[in-house]
A and B are shown apart, each in its own frame.
Chain A
Amino acid sequence: MDSNTIIGLTIAIGGIAPAIAIGLIGSKAVEAIGRNPEAASKIQSNLILGFAFAEAIAIYALVVALILKFV
């Protein structure tokens, strides 16, 4: 494999788990808001926090890929 393939695979594989995680968080949050619309603002702040933690994993993979590509 040449280096560009490896860089592509780094972010592609690194993006799988966060994508599933963000999907799960989003679906559960929408479900919760549907069940209890009054709690929407509380759910939303927890939703954004959950997104941030899940997304951080993808960002790590992205930073590794960027470092491999440009440094």
Chain B
Amino acid sequence: MALNISISAEPVARLFGLTITNSLLTGWIVTAILAVSVYLFSKQIKTKGAPSRLQSAIEFIIETLYGVVESIAGSVKAKRFFPMVGTLFIFILFSNWSGLIPGLAAIGLREELQGVSVLIPFWRAPTADINTTLALGLITMIMVQVYGYQYLGFKYFKKFFDFSNPINFFVGILELVSDFSKIISFTFRLFGNIIAGEILLLVMGLIVPILGPTPFIALEIFVGFIQALVFMMLASVFINMATLGHGDEHHE
């Protein structure tokens, strides 16, 4: 049985010498849909009187998310981190779920690949591509450094480069390595979960084509949500740890 599984995203078009892969295309579509719906929604926000049902629903979701970040970072810091980590959550959530829409993966072009005719779909979840998750991990860890610098100033970088004694110097090297390993951890956790889900759905569809994948789609909706939540929580934990000075850590 021929199962066409590709770990990397397939190129579908070229634009001014830039290769456009199907996950990049889907990422743009997801971003566009989110941006347009946010724009349309922001025009009908009411600050006076009873809010509409849509506004109540969205406020409930945002307040729940804010509560999660607040429980990690505290109310003062959560106000500053939330726009960033909340956006990460929403983008990752809809990226994960975009790969689960049935039927869209069947639309594509047939191409000869190593003598075999395979279907190159136009649609692929953005987070099922390691480049997207690496970008998200890099953005998060760079923002961790930025927030750390904002809160502690140059004292923040003393965590990495401390020449006061040999032990502190070595601990600084460990901190540096641990920050790079966090990027790798973010990247592979999200990518591995989503690609594993896609492969699971493909294999289940091959074994039991009718109604077989349905419970697994439900499972993948749950996994997509949990992974987005985990990404947001880890990002806020790392940001919160970076903003705590060396001295404050013991008081908590």
Contacts and interface: CB of A to CB of B under 8 A. Distances in A.
Contact of A49 (B188, B193, B230): B230
Contacts of B192: 59-60, 62-63, 66
A45 B7 contact: no
Chain A, interface size category, equals 10 to 19
Interface string B182-196: 000100110111011
Contacts, number: 46
Interface in B193-229: 193, 195-196, 199, 226, 229
A70 B229 contact: no
B188 A45 contact: no
Main secondary structure of the interface of B (DSSP, over half): helix
A41 B71 CA distance: 9
Contact of A59 (B5, B6, B188, B233): B188
Query: Among B5, B191, B230, B237, which residue has the most Cβ atoms of chain A within 10 A?
Result: B230
Contacts of A49: 230, 233-234, 237
Interface of A: 41-42, 45, 48-49, 51-52, 55-56, 59-60, 62-63, 66-67, 70-71
Interface of B: 5-7, 68, 71-72, 185, 188-189, 191-193, 195-196, 199, 226, 229-230, 233-234, 237
